[in-house]
Amino acid sequence: MGSFNWVSLISIIFMLVTTPILSASSLSSDGQSQIPSKFLNFAKKGEVFDWMVGIRRKIHENPELGYEEIETSKLIRAELDKLGIPYKYPLAITGVTGYVGTGKPPFVAIRADMDALSMQEMVEWEHKSKIPGKMHACGHDAHVAMLLGAAKILKEHEKELQGTVVLVFQPAEEGGGGAKKMLDAGTLENVNAIFGLHVDPKLALGEVASRSGPMLAGSGFFEAVISGRGGHAALPQHSIDPVLAASNVIVSLQHLVSREADPLDSQVVTVAKFQGGGAFNVIPDSVTIGGTFRAFSKESFMQLRHRIEEVITGQASVQRCNATVDFLENEKPFFPPTVNHEDLHDYFRRVAGELLGIHKVKDMQPLMGSEDFSFYQEAIPGYFFLLGMEDKTLGKLESVHSPFFQINEDVFPYGAALHAALAASYLSEFQHEVPIPEGEYHDEL
């Protein structure tokens, strides 16, 4: 029998002791991870908070629409350069993807959207939008600031990361389907899970809300041109009235939900656009209508799409008109339902509870709003949640997509720390459950 190599045995024991799934320094006496509280304390430091506020205000002053986020992307890359974080650019025209950690598996992603809305800001303050007709009215400027805040936290604690965090800065969430283009560009290659958030002006500051399963609806848009034959309003018998036809179409479309959909399967069809003639005594040649439709399952969504087209063309025909229907898929692609992965729900509640207190982690009912984060969730396990920012002592905050929308910047440390804690804890806890991909991965990092 050969001699026993005690040195090798001692080295193996040392490695096993010093590289557990969660390092001893990351656990409190009751076994809870110290990562969330440590990250929150870091994010609340004055210099970190002020840095995030400065970034957000620069972006807010210079809002850019979907796929036009040139300056926003430039600012993000400049900050990543300062932090020493490598990134890929461009992706999906203006998108940026940064990497923090070992550069090796497992990979987990955290995401922020960058685009603004086509609306005039009505809030008078020092950092009001400088671009007429454009405004960050949905909080994407805050989302970018918080994801950069998370990047700063993660870079500061990079040696503790047991894998790689992918920072996804995405263009064109507001109807442009930027998430789909980021996916097509390979952003989530070898990524095992992704987390995203949205600020909520109606939820208390420091609270979060989410749910397992369907959270937000799938959404689509439609536009229809109903053509008849114009003429004098006093002689309708010589015309084929598209206004009357369009009116019948709208009423019939409402029956799709009230009489065809299962009452327990929530759906919405709304006609929000009606454009016809310009005179009181002239029947126009055509009328254009348009709207949106929503559902919580892909099957219900596609059935609704099919029936919308049938009803519009059929009802127009009854009134002797012709109709063409356009679902605007090139301009406004269909968004799938936002469905939170069941296995990530308890994980999110635990990490958020450790960071905020479990009493501040709320369950919510599904909402009919939509979010293109859903494209990521179709590809890999994903989890999306709402982050509260209401402070009643500061006054009422308006809803998103309002020209009076405002951000309570006190929310920034919570969002940055949550992003960072969800990612870092995921790498620690799931590294031995995640299969190592065969072939090449991001080894250039």
Binding site feature residues for Mn(2+): 138, 140, 174, 198, 401
Other C-beta atoms closer than 10 Å to the C-beta of 437 total 14
| Annotated binding-site positions | 138, 140, 174, 198, 401
Q: Please, how many CA atoms are within 13 Å of residue 203, restricted to the half-sphere of its CB?
A: 19
Other C-beta atoms closer than 10 Å to the C-beta of 99 total 20
Virtual CA dihedral for 137, 143, 144, 148, nearest 10 degrees? 160
CB contact at 8 A, 380 and 228: no
User: H or E element: which one contains 144?
Assistant: helix 140-156
Angle between helices 412-430 and 342-356 (to 10 degrees): 130
> Rounded to the nearest 5°, which phi and psi values hold at 96?
-130, 140
**Nearest residue to 421 (alpha-carbon basis) of 210, 154, 209, 169:** 154
CB contact at 8 A, 43 and 49: yes
